[in-house]
Structure 1
Amino acid sequence: MLRLVYIYYGTLLPGWSSLRAIGHDQRHFIELWLKYWVIYALLQGLGVLTDFLLGGLSFYAGLKLILSVGLWFSAPYSTNHLFNLLNTYSMGKLCPVVEKGVRWHEKVCRNIFRGFMKSPLVTVVMPRDEDEHITEPRINNRLLKRELSNLMTQIAKNSADHRHQHESPMMIHSPRHLRAAELDKFNRESMHNVIDYLGQRGGDQQ
């Protein structure tokens, strides 16, 4: 029950007041509640240590509740005074220590993350041999060459049959016929170039 009282008055009500100050763009109260949360975080960290050292004393729970009630119902102005007092006398000495602690914490977190990514569990879940960036299907080089060759032969055969059906013998050596022959030759060379390119692409993928 006492734990719920601490959560309600120490966290939920100040959180709602902070959101309301931000929603109404009340810069003065926003600054005050930010200072409250700084003091709240420090007291929570200090409370873990005092609970361990002084938790067995009979008067500790009552003293802690009285101090907490006084802090809750005078916030955020009481925490503003505490923050200014801390900033005046201790912040200059604490800042370098806190900065070193933050950098050490970030370094430890990066090392833990790298070690986790190299663990066997991650290797099983996300195999490293599989390239996730490949979105194109792999090409079967031999099958593609064979199909394109068959297609080119069929097209050339159909074109030759079509010309023989619609052209007279006198027009075989006409300029129009020569242009058509050159066009067929160009198409065959282009098809061969396509086959060579796709074959080289398939070899690169393999």
Structure 2
Amino acid sequence: MYAYYTARDKTSNRLSVAVASADSPEGKFKDQGPLVAQELGSIDAFETRDEKGRLFLLWKEDGNSRGQKTPIWAQQINEERTKLLGEKTALFENDQEWEGNLVEGVAIFRKNGFFYATYSARGCCEIDCDYVTGVARSKSLLGPWEKYDANQSKSIMTTGNVRVMGQWLKMMGSFTCFTMPTIQKGVCM
């Protein structure tokens, strides 16, 4: 089992995507170290396979931390999850007004011959959080990706701050979709 996480690289102090492995979810995890630490930072890892069955790591370049775009990258990774292979490919970035200063938290699923990407956009992590969720699709993992036209007028899910029992809580902006075989339905959470 593999767990991707974000931490500061000890050498460069950059935010980096790293991986740890264990024999089971309860097991002791062994840190395999950072996989990618771009100058602007690398966060929000997600693993998926392309249409040929090759394993890929996806992540966000943290450009919004310095007022720049936030591309979602994909790069092949070895089966041991210890090394990226080949060159990275930009899938999409925050290029529409409704997305604000970022896209992040990408998750991928396949259905009816398409890859679907769910992702968060706008603003996170402050009291005025206005996270929204968008959807894009592509016939191939490496693109080209097309964003859902209705994203700009109606987000799939609007998130942000919710008051519960007198306390302000920040709600999630990302979700993952999967199929539950026992009920033969797709679920997003």
User: What band does the TM-score fall into relative to the shorter chain?
Assistant: under 0.3
| Bigger strand fraction | 2
Q: With the length of structure 1 as denominator, give the TM-score of the two structures.
A: 0.21
| Bigger helix fraction | 1
Q: With the length of structure 2 as denominator, give the TM-score of the two structures.
A: 0.22
Larger Rg: 1
